[in-house]
Structure 1
Amino acid sequence: MSFDIEKPLSKVEYLYDNASMRRARPTRPSSDYDRAYLDNNPLKASRDPCRSTPLQRNGNASSSDLKELFSRFDIESKVIPWDIIARTRELCAKYLSGSWNKVTPQRFRLKAITGGMSNLLFLVEMPDDIEPVSTEPRSALLRIHCNVDLEHLLNESVVFTLLSERALGPKLLGVFPGGRFEQYIPSRPLLCHELSLPSISRRIGCLLARVHALDVPIMKEPMIVEVAEGWLAKLRKVESKVAHKMRLNTVQVDLSKCPGEITCELLSDELDLLRECLENSNSPLVFCHNDLQEGNILLHNKYKIDSEGNLDVKEGEEPLVLIDFEYANYNYRGFDFSNHICERILDYSDNKPPYYSIKQHQFPDENDQSVLFNAYLDELEQMTNNGSEDRRPPYFVCELPKRREEAVEQLLTETRRFIAVSHLFWSVWSFMQAEESPIEFDYVSYGLDRLALYYEHKSDLLEYLQ
């Protein structure tokens, strides 16, 4: 699951400081663009109305400045304060440049997408009657980092930049202290049932191969158990003891395989067992997306899925783009496969409680999964053959059998054994979200359903200990 919108921030009324605007002495413009820049960025010729500290001509405000300013935004009010509009306009002029210098704050288009304690996301757009003069985009997404762990932010920024350069994600348009500009892609997220369409499954297989082949300059150790243990540590700090009676909500499994009550101690024991299984899995460590569900795969608006489930795509075109690499890191390859396969039965489009459904009848059989894996192997083969003589193929390619049938069978087995891993991982996440998130979603029911499926598939995972 990808959404992480936490409780809205309090709205603070802002009074525009016209007096300080009149007293300021502007910098002499050296060109038409500089003149337009100063004319349309009044805050540049003044003192920062939020911090009362001078802003330099280079436009470099600190991340704490932006954090304080944007903390005044309340997404529920749907009203964006004027100082946020002016500062955003200023950032566009400086980092997107070109015709953005010509847009006055009064004509500046700014739309809030999401808001919370971690990130704020806005869509910025030029007026229709202003044309770009160079390569500057007509629209972009502005992401403001709020309360984010610095280590996580560093890793996420490195990942986003690399994916942008490799055309595996939205383009990076600008970086500044406290946030960045990202490419806005006119698109829609895939629907749950579309993940299993052969035309879509093949595309996803190709994209996964490209992601797994990346050499990303971050820590190359699996952290899946440590991450889950971190969530569990938060649960242990909850004043009221976290314990849930096992019940089934949208799944059908053999309850005799499940414990009667779910506690932190029980989850901790399961994570210890999981660690032992993973260490014996021999699943190669690769760079993984780790959350490849339908909402994180966009279909460009220019492409349509017809009634037969086909895509009309020309050679060399890529209709899909992966987004939201929040959980991306080095992980066992089997997790990325199994997690995506699990997502093919998890539908988050329900608008009534519990706001999700688990459609077990849609679980892909081996023939359906083989479509994904054959496309994955085709892409790896093409990447290896098209490389230069001194370019070595990704190391994990070498451990796959040479015969295609055997390679597909190995991936099928690896995925089957990791199905339980995905269910346990996201069940712990869901129990933690139930204590912290204000989102209208039945996290407890979701966590119990995922945990029930973990026990249903646990015997496959235990094969690693035999």
Structure 2
Amino acid sequence: MGAEKKSWKPFQPSGDASGHGDERTSYGVVASIPSSKISVDISLPLPEMKLQLINLFKDLFEKWSSLDDSQVSVDTVSGGITNLLLKASVQETSGYDVFLTVRLYGPNTDLVIDRKRELQALPYLSAAGFGAKLLGLFANGMVQTFLDARTLSPQDMSIPKIAAEIARQLHKFHLVEVPGSRESQLWNDIFKFLKKAESLEFDEKEKQDKYRAISFKEICNEVNKLKDVADLLNAPVVFAHNDLLSGNIMLNDEQGKLYFIDFEYGSYSYRGYDIANHFNEYAGLDGNYNLYPGIEAQYHFFRNYLNPERPHDVSKKDLDALFVETNTFRLASHMYWALWALIQASVSRIEFDYLGYFFLRYNEYKQQKEACFALARKFISG
């Protein structure tokens, strides 16, 4: 996602149509952020999508009301299983290129993502130095400033130097205060997903047969059992990213600067859940959970998370406690994304085997649960 070696400058919002003062709306978004009712079709080939983006830019930003096709180029940065991330370059009359990031929401993602919660958090995360600045909103996405960096690969995250920096950034992220209830939303979200997942229907007989084989009574019992044990840990609640996979971490290699992006799953949650969810993402979408970090790699991360300035001063007691916390919530991460995948399997048009991903995550939950429960119970009993 690095910028080409040519004259470019950051986006300057002066002259936009909105012209409001710096007031916050009920969603927590600065009222001067322009918005459009235009929707961009995520399924279109890039050249056709580009034409829709040009119309969007003309509608959002008054200074670009006369844009034509020759001034705009669009490239794909990453295409995940929730969003499509694009880089747009706009050539202005001054001769400079302005780079933007366009995030397109996947279809029906409002079933699993609380957009109101996301938009409320964005200004506070931005003020704390996280992510790209929000420039505009439209029907199925947002426009943000361009970050001159590349997205990480799953393999990058396990490199000790990068892992330490992710841990330090996560420590800082967890200190951000976002208005609203400070209660963890994790179990509310999981039970909400469970309720939706219990009443799905699939057009394809093969998928419907696989779906009917799922025991939601078993899943409900597992969630309740896991919640009962996790509650006994009294884990700290923080504003968590909740989706810290490699595609949501960017790195400028020249400057060594690391960025977290895409906060759509962000909410108050348990710090151990956020860390465990990140560790689970070492497996990548292929789900190679043999890549889940071992104890030494975890402790390296914990040291830099718990005391970024003096990591070697962290006590073994604190390391052990966070190890138990993280590896208990490791199970909750599998359960969350398993249920999420079931819902996506019935509504998403993105080419991905969501139903297979449900079984991948739920089977990993079942494979790890005995060891994780035993670890937690031993710690709780003292």
Pairwise TM-score range, normalised by the shorter structure? 0.7 to 0.9
**Contact 1:221 1:285 (C-alpha < 8 Å) held by counterparts:** yes
Q: Which residue of 51, 57, 60 corresponds with 1:88?
A: 57
Bigger Cα displacement from structure 2, 419-428 vs 284-293: 419-428
Distance 1:72 1:438 in 2: 12
TM-score (norm 2): 0.75
Q: How many residue pairs get matched?
A: 340
Give the superposed CA RMSD: 3.8
Matched, 1:140 2:100: yes
Closer/same/farther in 2, CA of residues 161 and 452 from structure 1, 3 Å limit: same
Residue 288 of structure 1: how far off its partner (Å): 0.7
Per-residue CA deviation, residues 123-173 of structure 1 (Å, 9 max, x unaligned), is 4323277345xxxx8111245778775993222112222221111211233
Distance 1:186 1:71 in 2: 24
Structure 1 unmatched ranges of 5 or more: 1-36, 42-59, 95-99, 247-260, 304-312, 314-318, 349-355, 383-401
Residue number in structure 1 paired with 2:333? 422
Matched, 1:323 2:261: yes
Q: Matches of residues 60-75 of structure 1 in structure 2 within 5 Å?
A: 66-67=36-37, 69-70=38-39, 75=44
Corresponding letter in the other structure for 1:379? P
Matched, 1:302 2:249: no
Question: What secondary structure sits across from 2:91 in the alignment?
Answer: coil
Corresponding letter in the other structure for 1:70? S
Identity of aligned residues (%): 28
Matched, 1:368 2:301: no
Q: Matches of residues 289-438 of structure 1 in structure 2 within 5 Å?
A: 289-300=241-252, 302=254, 313=256, 319-344=257-282, 346-348=283-285, 356-360=286-290, 362-379=291-308, 404-438=315-349
Question: What secondary structure sits across from 1:330 in the alignment?
Answer: strand
Per-residue CA deviation, residues 20-56 of structure 1 (Å, 9 max, x unaligned), is xxxxxxxxxxxxxxxxx89xx9xxxxxxxxxxxxxxx
Larger CA Rg, structure 1 vs 2:
1
Distance 2:143 2:47 in 1: 21
Distance 2:229 2:253 in 1: 43
Residue number in structure 2 paired with 1:394? none
Distance 2:318 2:49 in 1: 54
**Contact 1:112 1:122 (C-alpha < 8 Å) held by counterparts:** yes
Closer/same/farther in 2, CA of residues 104 and 62 from structure 1, 3 Å limit: closer
Residue 73 of structure 1: how far off its partner (Å): 7.4
Matched, 1:170 2:135: no
Closer/same/farther in 2, CA of residues 110 and 155 from structure 1, 3 Å limit: farther
Residue 376 of structure 1: how far off its partner (Å): 1.0
Distance 1:297 1:415 in 2: 20
Residue 347 of structure 1: how far off its partner (Å): 2.2
**Contact 1:243 1:262 (C-alpha < 8 Å) held by counterparts:** no
Closer/same/farther in 2, CA of residues 119 and 372 from structure 1, 3 Å limit: closer
Closer/same/farther in 2, CA of residues 380 and 335 from structure 1, 3 Å limit: farther
Residue 368 of structure 1: how far off its partner (Å): 0.9
**Contact 1:186 1:301 (C-alpha < 8 Å) held by counterparts:** no
TM-score (norm 1): 0.63
Distance 2:83 2:366 in 1: 35
Distance 1:341 1:320 in 2: 17
Closer/same/farther in 2, CA of residues 162 and 347 from structure 1, 3 Å limit: same
Structure 2 unmatched ranges of 5 or more: 1-14, 18-31
Q: Which residue of 187, 207, 219 corresponds with 1:267?
A: 219
**Contact 1:289 1:328 (C-alpha < 8 Å) held by counterparts:** yes
Distance 1:357 1:120 in 2: 21
Closer/same/farther in 2, CA of residues 77 and 195 from structure 1, 3 Å limit: closer
Distance 1:300 1:104 in 2: 30
Per-residue CA deviation, residues 354-396 of structure 1 (Å, 9 max, x unaligned), is xx24141x232211111111111223779xxxxxxxxxxxxxx
Question: What secondary structure sits across from 2:61 in the alignment?
Answer: helix
Closer/same/farther in 2, CA of residues 138 and 121 from structure 1, 3 Å limit: same
Closer/same/farther in 2, CA of residues 191 and 144 from structure 1, 3 Å limit: closer
Per-residue CA deviation, residues 207-255 of structure 1 (Å, 9 max, x unaligned), is 1101111111133222222212222222222246966499xxxxxxxxx
Residue 337 of structure 1: how far off its partner (Å): 1.4
Distance 1:438 1:278 in 2: 35
Corresponding letter in the other structure for 1:296? N
Corresponding letter in the other structure for 1:330? Y
Residue number in structure 2 paired with 1:214? 176
Q: Which residue of 186, 196, 208 corresponds with 1:234?
A: 196
Closer/same/farther in 2, CA of residues 73 and 235 from structure 1, 3 Å limit: closer
**Contact 2:303 2:314 (C-alpha < 8 Å) held by counterparts:** no
Distance 1:125 1:189 in 2: 18
Q: Which residue of 71, 80, 87 corresponds with 1:108?
A: 71
Per-residue CA deviation, residues 66-91 of structure 1 (Å, 9 max, x unaligned), is 43x43577523731485762442342
Closer/same/farther in 2, CA of residues 456 and 149 from structure 1, 3 Å limit: closer
**Contact 1:289 1:336 (C-alpha < 8 Å) held by counterparts:** yes
Question: What secondary structure sits across from 2:214 in the alignment?
Answer: strand
